[in-house]
Amino acid sequence: MKQLEQSFCYWKHAEGTVAAEDVIPYPPGIPILLKGECIKQIHIDYIAYLIKQETNFQQSNIAEGLFVFKGE
């Protein structure tokens, strides 16, 4: 099986791309995005809201963006 390439994507360019990593706020630990899921504006808006609320995420750079699959 071919490994898909990944690249870091800033939130302003993320709509319509495919997430290459899970995005999970803690608490409650319920995923907002799962690897392989198409990123929609509603995801971006909700993540921005949670960041403003100082919610913790597993990624340290989540405020900037996330890894997506290239060419997807």
Q: Which of 16, 15, 17, 47 lies closest to 31, judged by CA?
A: 47
> Considering its fold, how many domains does the chain have in total?
1
Q: For 7-50, how does the pLDDT look when each residue is reduced to its tens digit (9 = 90+)?
A: 999 999 999 999 999 999 988 889 999 999 999 999 999 999 99
Which CATH number does the domain housing residue 54 bear?
3.90.105.10
Confirm whether 1 is domain-assigned: no
Query: What is the secondary structure of 16-57 as a DSSP string?
Result: TSBBSS-B-EETT---SB-TTPBP-HHHHHHHHHHHHTT-EE
Omega before 28 within 30 of 0, i.e. cis: yes
Instruction: Supply the range of the domain harboring residue 47.
Output: 6-69
| Distance in angstroms (rounded) separating the CA atoms of residues 38 and 36 | 7
The pTM of this model reads 0.87
